[in-house]
Amino acid sequence: MIGETAAVGKGRGGFVFQVTTDPSHSPWLHRFVVLTAAATLFLLCVGGLVTSHGVGMAVPDWPTTYGYNMFFFPISKWTGGIFYEHTHRLVASVVGLLTAILAAWVWIKEARGRQRNLALAGILCTLGLMGVRTQTMFIVLASVAAVVLIYSFWKATHDPRPLRWLAAVAFTAVLVQGVLGGLRVTQYKDELGIFHGTLAQLFFVLICAIALFTSKWWNETGGVSRPTSEVHGESQTPAASVSSAASRSVRRLFLLSTVLIFFQLIIGATMRHEHAGLAIPDFPLAYGKLWPDLDPQSIETYNARRIEITAVRPIQATHIVIQMAHRLMALLIVVCVVLVAWNAKREVDPVLKRLSRFWLGMILVQAGFGAWTIWSNKAADIATAHVLVGALSLVTGALGCIICFRRLKVPVGVARASDQSSKSGAGAFGVNSATALNP
């Protein structure tokens, strides 16, 4: 049987995730997705090191590397900035291959007949064509992938079995992402670098979401909250209702904080890809003030005092404003996540409680890394750690949102009790859902 895993839709209580049990849940698929997520995190780390060291252009050609097929580039030539950039390309290839396997696996598991054969043929054909290592071929593939990506995303929001479409989104996104990285090198466009950095974060979120949807916990949670008859494909019990897994305030706060973190990551990517170094060299003050002077004379003085080892650009007032926005946004995010943790204390779901506390801890560590990045004069390892924890913060927020917004089907009596408890401030379920459903 092909089981449903998760669906996205608009319910009475707002945007919610429908959770149903997948009786053919495959632990090995889940483990493979987790492996892909770990590889993606490693790729983010290497990509962060490339930008932190300012060596994104150390290999001037693409998809070749100094004229070599990149898989046969001699190790003896992996020196200086080439080491980071070339490693980034190789790890990206591994992540691309893992994503292709993931997509094929999900389509084999989730689809049947002509549709499945078509999907598998598409994946294999793409991998085969990627053997033609020319820029034109990659651009053609990425263009087709972009169209398929949009279609797959649309299908994922409308199909009752969205996992395969999410896998298709992942596969096409990784292809587009790779070509964006290549074009950033050959077209000399920093804007592409910012987009490349942002899409990397979204791709990581997507892979982690797929890992969540294929997890035993996710499927078991859905199973517990549904009558047994439905699990086996029978009609839904009339005495069942739908409830969200978290109270409205926590849902909203989780979503708000996650959106803020996403914007924060875009600001961060903009700062990093402007290659202007540290626009403000001190913290918590900025050039000794709460808000630094931005007149041309002051900017000239700041630039005259800056001694950077790499060939960074002279800073402009906009660079300083962007960094100030990054600092203020960080403060806002800390406040929001503190509110999430505070409000989640009243939630019954222990997972949400733990997740919100973990998230708060992560955000505080991230703020610490932000300060340390400045105090260390943007040391490459510290700046990269800041990027990594930022990615993990976004993923935690996104997964928290998915968990908060999921729809749990609970017996009517329990739902009513939950409504009453919710009004009295005891959270969505009023009592522990597992206890309520399994007395």
Partner 1 sequence: MALLGLRSIFEEKTTLMKTTSTLSIVAALVACSQAATAGDITGKVTLKGTPPPEKTIDMKADPGCGKMHTETVKTRFYVVGSAGELADTVVMLKGISGKSTGASAAPLVIDQKGCEYQPYVAVAQTGQKIVVKNSDPVLHNVSTIRDKAAEGNKQSNLAQMPGGADLNFTFPAAENFLRFKCDVHPWMFSYITVVDHPYVAVTGEDGSFSIKGVPPGKYTIVALHRKAAPNGVEQEIEVTADGAKSDFTLEAK
Residues that bind partner 1 (CB under 8 A): 53-61, 66-67, 77, 79-83, 85, 185, 188, 300-301, 303-311, 313-314
Q: Which helix (H) or strand (E) holds 48?
A: helix 27-53
- For residue 304, the minimal CB distance to partner 1 (Å) is 4
Q: Give the nearer residue to partner 1 in terms of CB position, either 314 or 368.
A: 314
Please check whether residue 103 is in contact with residue 171, taking contact to mean a CB–CB distance below 8 angstroms: yes
Question: Is the bond leading into 350 cis (omega within 30 degrees of zero)?
Answer: no
Nearer to partner 1, 13 or 81 (CB): 81
Taking the complex as a whole, the smallest distance from the CB of residue 297 to partner 1 amounts, in Å, to 9
Secondary structure class of 9 (helix, strand, coil): strand
Q: CA nearest 434: which of 221, 258, 243?
A: 221
CB nearer partner 1, residue 71 or residue 188: 188
Q: What is the DSSP string of 302-350?
A: HHHH---SS-PPPP-HHHHHHHHHHHHHHHHHHHHHHHHHHHHTT-S-H
Nearer to partner 1, 54 or 390 (CB): 54
Using the minimum distance from each CB to partner 1, give the nearer residue, 83 or 138.
Answer: 83
Report the residue number, 184 or 251, with the smaller CB distance to partner 1: 184
Pairing of strands 64-65, 68-69: antiparallel
CB–CB of 16/406 below 8 Å?
A: yes
Tokens found for residue 186: 């050959």
CB of 57 to partner 1, least distance (A): 4
Q: How far is the CB of 37 from partner 1 (least distance, A)?
A: 30
Distance CA 254, CA 27 (A): 28
Crossing angle between the packed helical segments 163-187 and 190-213, to the nearest 10 degrees:
160
Specify the DSSP class assigned to residue 237.
P
In the complex, least distance from residue 380 CB atom to partner 1, rounded to whole angstroms: 10
Structure tokens at 147: 């169209």
The residue assigned the tokens 């990045």 is: 373
Strand partners, 393: none
- Residue 289: phi and psi, rounded to 5, are -130, 165
Q: In the bound complex, what is the minimum distance in angstroms from residue 259's beta carbon to partner 1?
A: 31
CB of 308: closest distance to partner 1 in angstroms? 8
Residue 129 to residue 150: CA distance in whole angstroms: 21
Given the complex with partner 1, which of 290 and 307 has the nearer CB atom?
Answer: 307
Q: Which amino acid is at 155?
A: K
Minimum gap (Å) between residue 190 Cβ and partner 1: 9
220 or 300: CB nearest partner 1: 300
Q: How far is the CB of 278 from partner 1 (least distance, A)?
A: 13
* Rg of the chain (C-alpha set): 24
Which residue lies nearer to partner 1 by CB, 229 or 318? 318
